Amino acid sequence: MGMDINRTRQTDELPDVDERDRRNFLKVLGVTGSVGAASELSLADLRGAVGAESGELATMGEAIRADLAGGLDAGRLDAAVAGIEAAAAELPAVRAAGFPAEPTSAYGELTEPAWDAYHHLAEVGLFASAERHLPEFTPEHVRATAAELVRAEPAIAALAEVGLDERERTAVVVDAVTENHRLGQWVSTASLPADPEGYDPSNVAPLHQRALGGALLWIDELDHHLWQREAVLTEAHLDRATWDVKRMLGGAYLLVTAAADLAGPEELSDSQLTAALAGGSAVAIRGQEALAEDVFRVSDADRAAVGGESA
């Protein structure tokens, strides 16, 4: 099927932070009182209300910094950071192209810079170091990470470089916190069953490597999936997919910029480094889970109507 010109609409709608999510988010962070209506909730407004820097996160970041000292290629990571920024800038054009008339590599090209960083970070042991020194996504670790991201303006504000405005940055952090039970299902390699069927735990990548690599694989798969499944997908599906890709690129960017900072300027504190690595992984995880639900596991009730889009 060819791309229909009427199937290239775009929307600025984003998942709203509703009142329940706002209350849960503030409760987890330990912020009391009224901090804006749900539609006006902003990380910037919370910056002075989340308390002091976490000593535990600082200890974790210090250990990772020691493990990676002298091993990172600053030039390669800086190039990856710039490449992810360029990919995010290209995403609206990829979305505007609509459903492909034939298999393409448009989405796969968006992930190439992040893949280069991924391979480098795996080679030098950053993911293995994170596995040793960072906990799994327990409620307390998610809370501490979110609080540090709110407090660490340089880390979270950097997401503006990949097109996430304040509303979007707030949305991805709130989502990670309010869906921490989903993050908790992602465990370290050591926590996998000792004798599973079908795979060897020793061949399973560390948690944060799976988070980043999984997100990139899901984005790559969109090229084939959107072409193959155009008949059952709608513009609404494509809009949701675009948002999911945007936040996965944001998660990758947060993680890779933290690694680039570790390799060079070291402007992030140890606790900010930890929060950026863990937070980037969390955003990447939630993005890929959402993409799977939004576009790959489409129910009969949600699919396009026979002969055209559903109303």
* Strand, coil or helix: 110: helix
Lowest average pLDDT, out of 31-35, 78-82, 157-161, goes to: 31-35
Tell whether the model's pLDDT for residue 13 goes beyond 90: no
Tell whether the model's pLDDT for residue 2 goes beyond 60: no
Domain encompassing residue 101: 54-186+206-296
Is residue 75 in some structural domain? yes
Q: Which pLDDT belongs to residue 41?
A: 83
Is residue 110 in some structural domain? yes
Is residue 14 in some structural domain? no
Ranked by mean pLDDT, which of 171-180, 242-251, 295-304 comes out on top?
A: 242-251
Is residue 143 in some structural domain? yes
62-106 pLDDT per residue, tens: 999 999 999 999 999 999 999 999 999 999 999 999 999 998 999
Residue pair 119/257 in contact (Cβ under 8 Å)? The answer is no
Band of residue 14 on the pLDDT scale cut at 50, 70, 90 = low
How many distinct structural domains can be found in the chain? 1
- CA–CA–CA angle 260, 117, 243 (5° rounding): 95
194-233 pLDDT per residue, tens: 766 767 777 889 999 999 999 999 999 999 999 998 888 9
Is residue 256 in some structural domain? yes
Is residue 27 in some structural domain? no
Q: Which pLDDT belongs to residue 48?
A: 78
The single-letter code of the amino acid at 29 is L
Is residue 196 in some structural domain? no
How far is it between the farthest Cα atoms of the chain? 60
43-63 pLDDT per residue, tens: 888 887 887 777 999 999 999
CB crowding 256-292: b at 16 or more within 10 Å, else e = bbbbbbbbeeeebbbbbbbbbbbbbbbbbbbbbbbbe
Residue pair 252/114 in contact (Cβ under 8 Å)? The answer is yes
Is residue 122 in some structural domain? yes
Tell whether the model's pLDDT for residue 11 goes beyond 50: no
